Amino acid sequence: MPQFTNTTEGLRFRVVLKPGVALGPGKADLLEALAETNSLTAAAQRFGMSYKRSWTLVQELNRDFAKPLVETEKGGAGGGGGARLTKLGTYVLERYRRMEKDAGRAIAAGVRDLRKKLAAPKPARSATKKKPAASAAKKATTRKKAEPRRK
């Protein structure tokens, strides 16, 4: 899945909780992936995100809230550590998703209205040039030759 592109239609909900502290679709998706995989590496890979970037986001979330949202365990020499959401992490994710759905419902009529105002899609151009079609006059001449004359 491409990370943070405008390929998804509809609302991209981001809330700034205080200056410098925001919760949006990227962090929420990361929390959700952590809840499903219990692995920071696997969660990051879902979004084409580096482990370092995902770890930085988890550290931000843990720093910004009163208690950590994610608990991590160090792995041994062969790896094998894990990550899981805390109770607060689960609460924050569920609350964010409810807010996101509420906001989506609140703007649905406006989004439908604006979509009606979009330009019509332009036809795709062919990569190869087509030969021009025979002119109507040439086609008519060809047909006349083939048809028997009436008297």
Answer yes or no: pTM beyond 0.75.
no
Domains and CATH numbers, the chain: 15-116 (1.10.10.10)
> Does 95 have pLDDT greater than 80?
yes
pLDDT in tens, 107-141: 999 999 999 999 998 898 876 665 556 555 555 55
Query: According to the model, what pLDDT value does residue 78 have?
Result: 60
pLDDT in tens, 21-62: 999 999 999 999 999 999 999 999 999 999 999 999 999 999
- The residue length of the chain stands at 151
